[in-house]
A and B are shown apart, each in its own frame.
Chain A
């Protein structure tokens, strides 16, 4: 029987998770569909429907409301309605048609039998938002294994040249001494006298730390023997124009960690497995090296131009947002430190001990390229009034320098140039006492920036003492925490997507999704509250969540869910910003729903749900 349902199949197969089914099975699923049509404002499910129907919206729209008649979400063409799939039916969600609606319905029990061999498809329906998000994140993290990204990269980006070599007649001890001195884990053994051509010694083998251990020490071999007795002959090499991926594959397959690189039949360089595994951070490290050596602001400015490129590269390599944030923050820190050093060269020694502090995203190690600067100065209490002049000049020099390097001035004037944030330690104690003891909206806004604080340069005890006293005050201070929570809960995630709009709580449609305020900031705020209420001193959001996991503030499972949500949102932001940076546009946090794939929308909705659940429980805690 030729049953051509191509048109309906074509529609269904674009909808996750049905996109994972092979054509034959998709055909069977399509045959299991019943089509029904509902007028506007009718309740679901319609009469005469299967007991546990799964609905696919073909045309029209549905709205979900809770028992208090509050809008939970709206769904349009191509969205699934899984509310009725499970028995017992949830009595908390009421579904109605928003418009006249054409629905495809499938008996869920029948679907279960049909796709029994595709657990991923079923999991999509039965798993909670949290589980789906977790699956997504573990998959992303697997993908982030660098293999795939190394495909497009030449090994020339990773190898070291020239290679450390040693003559075959040298002793094992000579080799060990050379390796220790040069801090190398391997040497290439060469035959210097073969053709009397010393400019290109012929490599004849390789010796590694492991060889010293296994072939010499463990065997009780005399270390005065020539090194060639313990070398690996017939060593594997790779051509200089190979991809990093080839190198990694070869090393993984042969279980070796060092691979000499040959160019025109001559030993040219060495690549190690650690070089490849750490390649992204290596770049960040290199960049900090360059920054450290910069002689003046102009050189720093030049280096700062590499920062967006680094962020693009890291995003392309499939690095996690956490890793990018940490790398960029580390680089910003290096810029700041170098600027302070340059300032000290110019101004002379500081009159009293001090610490340069970074606040906000830099302190949390969650900074991206082109963030604005948030900084402050904490000065030893023995400073004299006239000392402030020195610190003011320092602040001016560093903040101006940072601005030249692309870190725009803080619009809220949270900078060391502002006398209010350039104060002796006792004043900082006072500030924090005030914020915690008499919370006001303004105070809370300040505290959220200054509760994420780290020492960039100088005497770290100055800040640690302030923080210690602060955490003692906040821990268990329900009034303060309640105020902080109330403030933090002002940023609510949206309900989801409706067609090409972002649907917010009151049923309004927005044209763009603000990843920062609608997703990332709420998690950052929650993590801060948990940390302050549990006396955790970490500032990084993921670290805070990890450290409070299992405490009265947050269960382990909820912490894991929040981390998944945070990483997913961070990933989307990173990819979005990489795209913007690549076309030389200012990176922002605004995603247009049209550009978000169906699957990403599902995961975003799941992330929103996780945030909302924890915000709600936070709200009810006070």
Chain B
């Protein structure tokens, strides 16, 4: 997608993109979301309002595969606020593939008790309004959220994202030493920062795990560092 090309973003910026999409969006959750300005990319990073997000999906293809669960937690002033945490399983209205269940550990039964996609996406958009989205490996969350918005509201918005994997990759690339891609996994990076090991992998735990990783990755940056330094 052209709109996600770095050059495009650099030229136009999130705010212009947001205003353009605001005109296209039908009234409802997406319009509400887009009507709140994104954080200023020149603002101080440590003060930014961030929403750490994680999705569990049936696969990697945003068009064919389904969103299974969403977890998120807010982070402001460098503190992860557990009273803002959210975790919800989505009823995809279709049977799950056995080989996938092993990974996400969500059973058909749990799924059937889940909420419809639009309820969960609405909750996510509401929490995300005016914030930067934080994920580990941005492609999944970005593409699945855009696809969901496209299906539900007919518009695929773009939004500012911080990606802990990209931050780690940039660090390793700078060192100019060969590294194994597995070093970029969430668990491996947490271990490198001596963060505790999490065993239960659900969307909320991984969102919290990602937020903690960001705190560890960025705590040594100065108070003057701008938000744009970390945006994708």
Cα A256 to Cα B208 with chains together (Å): 63
Measured between C-beta atoms, what is the minimum distance from B110 to chain A in Å?
A: 9
Tell me which of A30-38, A217-225, A538-546 binds B: A30-38
Contact bitstring B74-103, A, C-beta under 8 A = 1, else 0:
000111111101111100000000000000
Once the chains bind, are B89 and A2 in contact (CB under 8 Å)? yes
* B interface residue count range (under 10 / 10 to 19 / 20 to 34 / 35 or more): 20 to 34
Tell me which of A5-13, A156-164, A418-426, A480-488 binds B: A5-13
Measured between C-beta atoms, what is the minimum distance from A244 to chain B in Å?
A: 46
Once the chains bind, are B88 and A102 in contact (CB under 8 Å)? no
Once the chains bind, are B200 and A7 in contact (CB under 8 Å)? yes
B79, B211, B216: most-surrounded residue (chain A CB, <10 A)? B79
Given known pairs A6-B200, A7-B200, A7-B205, the reply for A39 and B219 (CB within 8 Å) is: yes
Once the chains bind, are A36 and B215 in contact (CB under 8 Å)? yes
Given known pairs A4-B204, A5-B85, A39-B219, the reply for A49 and B79 (CB within 8 Å) is: yes
Number of A-B residue pairs having CB atoms within 8 Å of each other in the complex: 78
Number of interface residues of A (CB under 8 A): 30
Once the chains bind, are A100 and B204 in contact (CB under 8 Å)? no
Collect the chain B residues with CB atoms within 8 Å of residue A46's CB.
Answer: 78
Contact bitstring A47-67, B, C-beta under 8 A = 1, else 0:
111000000001110000000
Once the chains bind, are A34 and B215 in contact (CB under 8 Å)? no
Q: What residue in chain B is nearest A1 (Cβ atoms)?
A: B86
Answer yes or no: B28 CB below 8 A from chain A CBs. Answer: no
Answer yes or no: A3 CB below 8 A from chain B CBs. Answer: yes
Answer yes or no: B164 CB below 8 A from chain A CBs. Answer: no
Once the chains bind, are B212 and A31 in contact (CB under 8 Å)? no
Cα A39 to Cα B78 with chains together (Å): 13
Contact bitstring B187-222, A, C-beta under 8 A = 1, else 0:
000000111101110101100100110011001100
Collect the chain A residues with CB atoms within 8 Å of residue B81's CB.
Answer: 34
Once the chains bind, are A34 and B79 in contact (CB under 8 Å)? yes
Once the chains bind, are B194 and A60 in contact (CB under 8 Å)? yes
**Partner among A33, A60, A99 whose Cβ is within 8 Å of the Cβ of B82:** A33
Once the chains bind, are A36 and B82 in contact (CB under 8 Å)? no
Measured between C-beta atoms, what is the minimum distance from A74 to chain B in Å?
A: 17
Cα A249 to Cα B169 with chains together (Å): 71
* 8 Å CB interface, A583-607 against B: none
Measured between C-beta atoms, what is the minimum distance from B91 to chain A in Å?
A: 13
Given known pairs A4-B87, A7-B205, the reply for A36 and B220 (CB within 8 Å) is: no
Collect the chain A residues with CB atoms within 8 Å of residue B89's CB.
Answer: 2
**Partner among B194, B202, B216, B219 whose Cβ is within 8 Å of the Cβ of A4:** B202
Once the chains bind, are B194 and A59 in contact (CB under 8 Å)? yes
Q: What residue in chain A is nearest B114 (Cβ atoms)?
A: A2
Collect the chain B residues with CB atoms within 8 Å of residue A32's CB.
Answer: 82-83
* 8 Å CB interface, A524-543 against B: none
B85, B202, B220: most-surrounded residue (chain A CB, <10 A)? B85
Given known pairs A34-B79, A37-B212, A48-B79, the reply for A2 and B196 (CB within 8 Å) is: no
Once the chains bind, are A37 and B204 in contact (CB under 8 Å)? no
**Partner among B202, B204, B219 whose Cβ is within 8 Å of the Cβ of A38:** B219
- Ordered by A's residue number, 19 sampled pairs between the chains whose C-beta atoms are within 8 Å are A5-B82, A5-B204, A7-B199, A8-B208, A11-B196, A34-B79, A34-B80, A34-B82, A35-B208, A35-B211, A35-B212, A36-B215, A37-B216, A37-B219, A58-B196, A59-B195, A59-B196, A100-B216, A105-B79
Given contact pairs A4-B87, A7-B200, A35-B82, a sample of 17 additional A-B residue pairs in the complex whose CB atoms are under 8 Å apart: A1-B87, A5-B82, A31-B83, A34-B79, A34-B82, A35-B211, A36-B78, A36-B79, A39-B219, A46-B78, A48-B77, A58-B196, A59-B196, A100-B219, A102-B196, A102-B212, A105-B79
User: A interface vs B, CB < 8 Å?
Assistant: 1-8, 11, 30-39, 46-49, 58-60, 99-100, 102, 105
